[in-house]
């Protein structure tokens, strides 16, 4: 009897530990000469929409002349937001610095991506690396996916989840649906009971 109780107590504990390990942040440094982290805002757009991309590069050691090489989705338009001290190579989507970035210092690149008006709904990837002579390429971490929301039944949904029918449920209705699913009760039964009262 005691062994069964201990087993039932151990299972949630093991699950919690596995979850904690799975979501634990991994150091972006890993002994690299630099770190680079990308953010994308908003993460979801309609066809023809614009997102702003920001990449922060931080030197872990002095970088003498370096570049950021970004790979946006094919066919998307890149608009560089001017930044002092950097040269933008538009055809290759590269930012070049001739100066030295000292250890502990950072630079930020900001640019906009415009999806073509006829872009198919789906997820589109952005990738990139930081390069400098004498160091291994540093992969840009952080956000790398842009979602393009497409029309549903001929009507384009609002970006940000408004087209999701679950988001239209009142919070209590959502909690009731979750509780019903856990208890094995149908949401339809709950609605009938609510309508009868």
Cβ distance 57 to 83 under 8 Å? no
Q: How far apart are CA 29 and CA 105, in angstroms?
A: 14
What's the whole-model pTM score? 0.62
Domains of the chain: 34-148 (2.60.40.10), 165-196 (no CATH)
Q: How far apart are CA 98 and CA 85, in angstroms?
A: 8
Q: How far apart are CA 84 and CA 102, in angstroms?
A: 16
Which pLDDT score, from 0 to 100, does residue 185 have?
A: 44
pLDDT in tens, 70-116: 999 999 999 999 987 899 999 999 999 999 999 999 999 999 999 99
- Indicate if the alpha-carbon torsion angle 18, 24, 27, 28 is positive or negative: positive
Residue 14 exposed, middle or buried by CB count within 10 Å (0-12, 13-18, 19+): exposed
Q: pLDDT averaged over the chain?
A: 75
């Amino acid at each position: 009897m005691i062994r069964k109780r201990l087993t039932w107590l151990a299972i949630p504990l093991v699950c919690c530990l596995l979850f904690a390990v799975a979501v634990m942040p991994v150091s972006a440094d890993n002994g690299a000469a630099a770190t680079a982290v990308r953010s994308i805002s908003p993460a979801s757009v309609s066809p023809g929409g614009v997102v702003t991309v920001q990449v922060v590069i931080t030197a872990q050691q002095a970088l003498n002349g370096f570049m950021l090489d970004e790979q946006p989705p094919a066919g998307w338009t890149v608009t560089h937001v001017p930044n002092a001290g950097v040269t933008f190579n538009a055809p290759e989507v590269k930012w070049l610095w001739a100066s030295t970035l000292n250890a502990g210092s950072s630079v930020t690149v900001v640019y906009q991506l415009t999806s073509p008006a006829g872009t198919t709904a789906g997820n589109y990837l952005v990738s990139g690396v930081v390069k400098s002579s004498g160091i291994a390429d540093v992969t840009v971490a952080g956000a790398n996916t842009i979602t393009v929301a497409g029309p549903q039944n001929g009507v384009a949904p609002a970006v940000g989840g408004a087209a999701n029918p679950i988001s239209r449920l009142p919070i209590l209705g959502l909690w009731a649906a979750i509780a019903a699913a856990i208890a094995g009760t149908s949401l339809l039964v709950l609605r009938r009971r609510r309508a009868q009262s």
